[in-house]
Amino acid sequence: MKVNRQDNMINNNGIRVFAKLGALKLSRLLCGKIPEDLEKRFEHWLERGISDEEIAKKEYSSLIEGEGSGPEDKARLLNLSANCECGIALTLMELIMLRTIDPSVSELLEQVCPGNGAGVTLLTAAKASGFTSSIDEAIPDMTQAERSARFLLHESENGEEEFYRKPWTADKYLLNYLSGGDLEDEEKDEYTERFDPEGVTVAVYGMEKEADGLYGQMKSLLDREVLEPFTVLVEGEKESGRYTVVKAAALRLGLPLLAVDTEYLINSNDPRKVIRYLVRCSVLEGRALCLRNIGKTDDTVFLVGRLSHFLRRHSLLPLFLLSDHSVKLKPLLKESFIGVRIPDSRAVNLALWKGFLPEGYADLAESLSSKMKLTAGQMKRVMRSCETALNAGEELDEHKICRFCYEVLDDGRYDNVKWVEPGFGFDDLKIDQRSRAVLKDICDQVELRHKVYEEWGLRDMYAYGRCVSVIFAGSPGTGKTMAVHALASRLGLELYKVDLSQIVDKYVGETEKRLEEVFDKAQKSNMILFFDEADAVMGKRSEVKDAQDKYANTEISFILQRIEEYDGIVILATNNLHNIDHAFMRRIRYVLNFALPEKTTREAIWREAFGEGVPLSDDIDYDYLAEKFELSGGEIKNIVLNAVFYGAADGGRVTMKHIMKAVYRELTKARRVALSGDYTEYGEYGYLLTDQN
């Protein structure tokens, strides 16, 4: 039998084997029964005198024995034919491939059964397969064939009511499969990934135990005499390494994977079509299906259930479901399942840093793991930024790597937390030695936490209460905020100020919800959380007289619990320590009171507040200013700034007169009155009392 190569766009043995078999069945049905000129025109396909026995023999040798095919062709032919559950479904596949190679064959198909249009109907396939019964008697067989068609083929959209009159065609994926991958698969997109366990390595930094455990569980099920379907549940945070653990186990089992992001299902216009496509890929390619990033939504859970159900109709391969801890998938599963949880521990974080850091920077792993808690996926993105910096000739250090970490972690969702650029260091602080020593102790609590909790084994004993919590108390301007900046600079951590005006909400439960968002964000990066004017949400609990009192007390209890669970640094600033609920004190590691500076400290603040670029007259009496006025550092800075503007407007030089004018204005603002005699030798500035200038 000659093969027409007029349309030779698809010249593949697998497709042509099906096409030839379809042509033989048309020959048996049409030869001698159609117009002679039509039979003449299609003599390259039609073969006179072919018997049912010869067709069966050729079909067996072509599909089962792979006659004229290579090993891979034979495997694809056998796999595809095995998924055609009945004779009508197999004939339908053969006729579709024949029409794909030679569209003019549609003229012959119309001779079998009119109405095929752009494809081949089940009724045409039934007649070509030798079914001679009435349509009513053929419906059960055609119904079975339709199930295979829905799984393997593409259904044309038309207005026919009878299912057996709807035309079917082969999509690009099926043609690509039979062609051995020579054709482009337009179905593939960024949501799917194929993993082949040949010639690859998978690094599971810190998660070797989980990967080994998953491999052992799966091997025991796959080695059973009677294979039964099972599902593998892998739970953990998004990008925590769930898929890496799965790939490591699949690599040892020699199991190919087809991984799909759940977003592919959620955002699809036709989820049922996507599910059929995924299951077909899994079955035909012999790949275990892996559904990634399953989130806690009604649509997701519903679609996961449908996918699992549809897969089990066609495959015994394991199904991998990668989800968050909060997603409850086990009730949806009808078969047995095994599972593994991805650990969220300091040991895993340390192993990830050691594994991902560029060569020559591994010594930073200990310190970085104490400060930055990233998932494997987030760390990969950080490393890309590091690689870009190194390629640009930049030097990497711990502070720069931390900066890259914060860029990855800050997804812009948390409007209640604002990043603050630390503007001061320890050298800028004008505080007594006792207070400076307390700040150093706080730094030690952060920098040595790995040694104490991990190496010395105190983590299990202190499951709660590892938060480095501090209260800075003192009058406005005494240096509380500056001390927070100094800590952030010393530790190399990001400083985030919590906007309490956005946190505290009049609606029940909203305050707790927003605070939970704040702590969730902070938990990832060990950032310093700074609650300024903490009295707003941490004031004393009151006697419950009404519902408002009850919910106010609930908010305080929630904050106490969340601080205790937090593994980072929380700094609370208050102008009045007595306003803070006493229950906070048990959870607070340090309380540091900031008093008004002593004379020597005030003089140092006066001298440094002007900076080097401000032109000063020779009459500035720093000793007098420090001795006479008991001011906070913030008040001194206000006075200096005002005095500089007075001097700029009055000749361009700052004099004692300008400073005294600014002192008077600051004292008046604070409602502190002083008579001219109180200014001793500078009382001559009479305008201080009348405020005329």
DSSP code per residue over 108-166: HHHHHSS--TTSB-HHHHHHHTT--S-HHHHHHHHHHHHHHHHHHSEEPP---SSGGGS
Label residue 417 by pLDDT band (50, 70, 90). Answer: low
State the average pLDDT over residues 185-199.
Answer: 75
What is the pLDDT averaged over residues 301-321?
89
Domain covering 426-594 assigned CATH 3.30.70.2860 in the classification: no
pLDDT digit string (tens) for 246-290? 999 999 999 999 999 988 888 888 888 889 889 999 999 999 999
Residue 22 DSSP code? H
The DSSP result for 627-683, as a single string, is HH----HHHHHHHHHHHHHHHHHTTS-B-HHHHHHHHHHHHHHTT----GGGGGGGT
Cα atoms found within 13 Å of the Cα of residue 358, Cβ hemisphere only: 16
Sheet arrangement for strand 230-235: 192-195, 257-261, 288-294, 319-323, 230-235, 336-341
Question: pLDDT band at 543, cuts 50/70/90?
Answer: very low
Give the pLDDT score at 167: 93
pLDDT given at position 4 = 41
Question: In this predicted structure, what is the pLDDT of residue 545?
Answer: 45
Residue 414 buriedness (CB in 10 A; 0-12 / 13-18 / 19+)? middle
Average pLDDT of span 291-312: 86
Mean local confidence (pLDDT), 377-385: 94
User: Would you state the pLDDT for residue 505?
Assistant: 64
Picking from 243, 256, 246, 184, the residue whose alpha carbon sits closest to that of residue 218 is 246
Distance CA 556, CA 182 (A): 65
pLDDT category at 692 given cuts 50, 70, 90 is very low
Mean pLDDT value of segment 209-230: 93
Rounded to an integer, the average pLDDT of 398-421 is: 76
CATH of domain 192-341: 3.40.50.300
* % of the chain at pLDDT higher than 90: 37
pLDDT digits 0-9 by tens, 487-503: 988 888 878 887 666 66
Of 666 and 504, which is predicted with more confidence?
666
Per-residue pLDDT band for 538 (boundaries 50, 70, 90) equals: low
pLDDT > 70 fraction of the chain, expressed in percent and rounded: 85
The answer to whether residue 549 scores a pLDDT higher than 50 is no
One fold for 192-341 and 426-594: yes
Which pLDDT does position 679 carry in this prediction?
65
pLDDT, one tens digit per residue, over 2-38 is 444 334 444 467 888 899 999 999 999 999 899 999 9
Query: 3-class DSSP state for residue 491?
Result: helix
What gap in Å lies between CA 255 and CA 167, rounded to an integer?
36
Q: Is the pLDDT of residue 295 over 50?
A: yes
- Torsion angles phi and psi, residue 455, rounded to 5: -70, -40
Residues sharing a CB contact under 8 Å with residue 120, sequence separation 6 or more, in sequence order: 92, 95, 96, 99, 109, 167, 168, 169
Residue 183, pLDDT score: 46
Mean pLDDT of 64-75: 74
Does residue 600 contact residue 627 with C-beta atoms inside 8 Å? no
More confident residue, 302 or 680: 302
The pLDDT, as a whole number, for residue 158 is: 64
Q: Is the pLDDT of residue 544 over 60?
A: no
Q: What is the pLDDT of residues 510-520, one digit of tens each?
A: 777 777 777 87
Taking 70 as the threshold, does the pLDDT of residue 507 lie above it? no
- Give 350-362 pLDDT, tens digit per residue: 899 999 999 889 8
Count other C-beta atoms under 10 Å from residue 394's C-beta: 11
Q: Residue 681, CB half-sphere, CA atoms under 13 Å: how many?
A: 6
Q: Which is nearest to 466 in space by CA: 453, 455, 457? A: 453
Chain Cα centroid distance, residue 456: 33
Residue 547 pLDDT greater than 50, yes or no: no
Residue 338 predicted with pLDDT over 90: yes
Q: What is the DSSP string of 374-430?
A: --HHHHHHHHHHHHHHHHTTPPP-HHHHHHHHHHHH--S--TTEEEE-----GGG--
Distance CA 492, CA 526 (A): 11
Q: How far is CA 367 from CA 104, 449, 458, in A?
A: 72, 10, 18
More confident residue, 542 or 570: 570
| Measured distance CA(121)–CA(115) in Å, rounded | 8
CATH says 599-690 is which class? Answer: mainly alpha
pLDDT of residue 690: 45
Answer whether residue 373 shows pLDDT above 50.
Answer: yes
Q: What is the mean pLDDT of the chain?
A: 83
Q: Does residue 388 contact residue 411 with C-beta atoms inside 8 Å? A: no
Rounded Cα distance between 471 and 580, Å, is 10
The pLDDT of residue 686 is 47
Q: What is the mean pLDDT of residues 514-535?
A: 77
Q: Sketch the domain layout of the chain as residue ranges.
A: 13-178, 192-341, 346-408, 426-594, 599-690
Counting other chains too, the contacts that 459-467 makes at CB distance below 8 Å and 24 or more residues apart are 459/346, 464/564, 464/565, 465/564, 465/587, 466/567, 467/563, 467/564, 467/565, 467/566, 467/567, 467/568, 467/569, 467/570, 467/587, 467/589
Confidence of residue 412 (pLDDT cuts 50, 70, 90): low
Tokens of 673: 């009155």
Give the residue-averaged pLDDT of 467-482. Answer: 88
Q: Please report which confidence band the pLDDT of residue 160 belongs to, taking 50, 70 and 90 as the band edges.
A: low
The reported pLDDT for the residue numbered 326 is: 82
73-82, 180-189, 348-357: lowest mean pLDDT where?
180-189
Give the span between the Cα atoms of 310 and 136, in whole angstroms. 28
pLDDT tens digits for 603-647? 999 998 998 889 999 889 999 999 888 888 889 999 999 999 999
